[in-house]
Amino acid sequence: MTTLPPYTPASIVPGMYDILLLNGRVLDGTGAPARSVDIAIEAGRIVAIGDLSTATATDSIDATGKFVTPGFIDIHSHSDLTLVIAGQASSSVAQGITTQIAGNCGVSAAPTLDHVPYYGPLDPAMTRGMVCDWIDFDDYFDRLTNQGLGTNLATLVGHGNIRVAAMGWEDREATPTELERMRQLTAQAMEHGSLGLSSGLAYAPGPYAPLEELVELGRVVGRYGGLYTSHIRNQTLGIAAAVGEVIAVGERAGITAHVSHMQPGSPMLGATADLLQTIDSVRARGVDVSCDAIPYTIGSTTLKSLLPPWSLDGGDEALLRRLQDPAMRDKIKADTMTHGAESGGSRKRNLVKEGSWDRIWLGSAERNEHLTGKSFAEIGQIRHQDPHDAVLDVLLEENARPWMLAEDVSEEDFLNIARHETGGIISDGFSLIPEGVLAEGKHHPRSYAAFPYFLRHFIRDQGALTWEQAIHKLTGHAAARFRLTDRGVLREGAWADVVIFDPETIAEGADFDNPYRYPHGIDTVLVNGIAAVDDGRLTDSRSGRIVRRTA
Ligand SMILES: [Zn+2]
């Protein structure tokens, strides 16, 4: 009797792989100490880890002297619409990001209001020329998949989208019918694979929503095992109460809750020490709460968030009418000069109240392109007017679209969060390409640089965390918090999202003067087993996938 050898398909003949990553120091994303092992990849997945020096493969990459880590996971991007303009996601891939979560701060690509996107805090000028042919996430995901995606993409659904679709930009509570519509839209987004709900309580119409509305929608999300994230209502004097509101949604809806960029502005610098203690005590009683932070002291958002939220009642057109009315302008300015950030909107309103115009810069504009990159102290001089009036006039001239940058948070607070068990690290940026509309203005360098900057500045230069801890934050921790399965760790069976970089040379290339430059020291980026960066060069692999919430 003859015994046949067991059948083995050619593609998984032992020792013959697609790619071998040899001789590197592997940080597997769990925080475990680095190990000198090889990795084999086959059909987009990691299939073997160990001594593979005798194995053969179609491609071999020698990682001697380099770190081999999981692809970085950016749990907070605003690439929702920039990916429609340019799917290659060059600025993200180049910094090692292989998966990003969009739909943050209450704004997502879907649902649209009959093909009109909700931009919320985003700048519609940045994606001009875009044709919006989707209403829901299924259609949006199809569009991106057909175009090809440089990174994997998961998304939250924005509360702003839901509220605007159900009841417009009104500064009032929802009627029972409107609330029911919001529940339906939230449920549909979850059925299409959204990870959960995000709110942007600094950006109209977010500030108009009471806690009860967020709890109601949180309960819908909870039925699907989703989570809730929030750009909180107040990041200055009222920050403890605002974090408390996120905790209340988590606790009352019975879901995981997450405070986005939990960085306090003046006069609450240092408040993260107390906030993180609150998170610890809440977690001890069983409420699953976490937070994250951006590794810069300069933030960036829409210029109109320097205004009190009531001035945005009714949407941009109503705002522009108010900005043309001298009495209304005085009322808007008086609100900020009296209350600063305490009457809502961005924490950066405190800079206006203090007159710190040299720490607020114009990030984007069309008619005023020549003013981008300049502070409002300079812009006031150039335009021969008070900087506060310059803000209102630039908003008017630019149809309420521009972005700003402003310096108002501390490295101490960033590090408190980065070192905390629940703290994540985020870019808060966009996927960009260095040409066309996505290369205009002077946006924040984080879109090209956040993670290499974090690794160079805080890890190599300061030793603020170990490399193992730092990589864990950018990979395994991020995947676990947002329940992305088979990503964020290097183990057999996981997707082959991998970064190979030199810990001696990794560094950002972009800064505030030149925000659209690629980083250094990142040699290889694999997205689902395909090289998106090969020998330091972008390949435009578009091997990313849509990542839907797993049941
Ligand atoms: Zn954000």
The domain spanning residue 287 has which CATH number?
3.20.20.140
Nearby residues of 420 by Cβ (< 8 Å), 6 or more positions away: 276, 279, 291
418 and 448 together in one domain: yes
Count up the domains in the chain and report the number.
2
287 and 312 together in one domain: no
Domain boundary among 407, 442, 457: 407
Residue 55 lies in a domain: no
Residue in the structure block whose two tokens are 């996971």? 73
Q: How far is the CA of 348 from the centre of ligand 1 (A)?
A: 14
pLDDT of res. 243: 98
467 and 523 together in one domain: yes
pLDDT of res. 13: 53
Q: How far is the CA of 397 from the centre of ligand 1 (A)?
A: 25
Q: How far is the CA of 104 from the centre of ligand 1 (A)?
A: 6
pLDDT in tens, 433-465: 999 999 998 999 999 999 999 999 999 999 999
Q: How far is the CA of 56 from the centre of ligand 1 (A)?
A: 44
Of 365, 221, 354, nearest to 304 (Cα)? 365
Residue 7 lies in a domain: no
State which residues form the domain around 378: 302-407
Q: How far is the CA of 545 from the centre of ligand 1 (A)?
A: 22
Bridging pattern class, strands 67-70 and 537-538: unpaired
Residue 526 to residue 96: CA distance in whole angstroms: 9
Q: How far is the CA of 200 from the centre of ligand 1 (A)?
A: 8
Q: Which residues line ion ligand 1, judged by CB < 5 Å?
A: 104-105, 428
Domain boundary among 392, 407, 422: 407
Q: How far is the CA of 239 from the centre of ligand 1 (A)?
A: 17
366 and 382 together in one domain: yes
323 and 219 together in one domain: no
264 and 306 together in one domain: no
386 and 281 together in one domain: no
Contact between residue 64 and residue 25 where contact means Cβ atoms under 8 Å apart: no
Residue 322 to residue 10: CA distance in whole angstroms: 70
202 and 213 together in one domain: yes
pLDDT of res. 308: 97
Q: How far is the CA of 223 from the centre of ligand 1 (A)?
A: 25
**Which residues of the chain fall below pLDDT 50?**
1-11
